[in-house]
Amino acid sequence: MQVNMHEAKSKLSALAEKVWQGETVVIAKAGKPYLDILPHRENSTPRQPGRFKGQIRIADDFDETPEEIISAFEGDN
């Protein structure tokens, strides 16, 4: 379902209820999709720090930036 911004303002409660019932609601601005209304869901699985341990590799030269890159950022072309 797609509604324009004005309609969404006046029917927010009804639209929210439709979203909770599983319907997809998109708010349009100037006739183009602008926002999706989504129900709030509590995160059911807590984050686990370190779960990618041993799977991520950082290159040995990670902290070494080539001079031409630094010059390009500083505008010394």
Q: What pLDDT does residue 32 have?
A: 95
Q: What pLDDT does residue 42 have?
A: 82
Q: How confident is the model at residue 75 (pLDDT cuts 50, 70, 90)?
A: confident
pLDDT in tens, 13-62: 999 999 999 999 999 999 999 999 999 888 778 888 998 999 999 999 99
Please state, in angstroms and rounded to a whole number, the distance separating the CA atoms of residues 4 and 52. Answer: 43
Domain boundaries, the chain: 2-37
Q: What pLDDT does residue 77 have?
A: 58
Longest CA span, the chain:
58
Q: For the residues 57-74, what does the mean pLDDT come to?
A: 91
Please state, in angstroms and rounded to a whole number, the distance separating the CA atoms of residues 72 and 66. Answer: 10
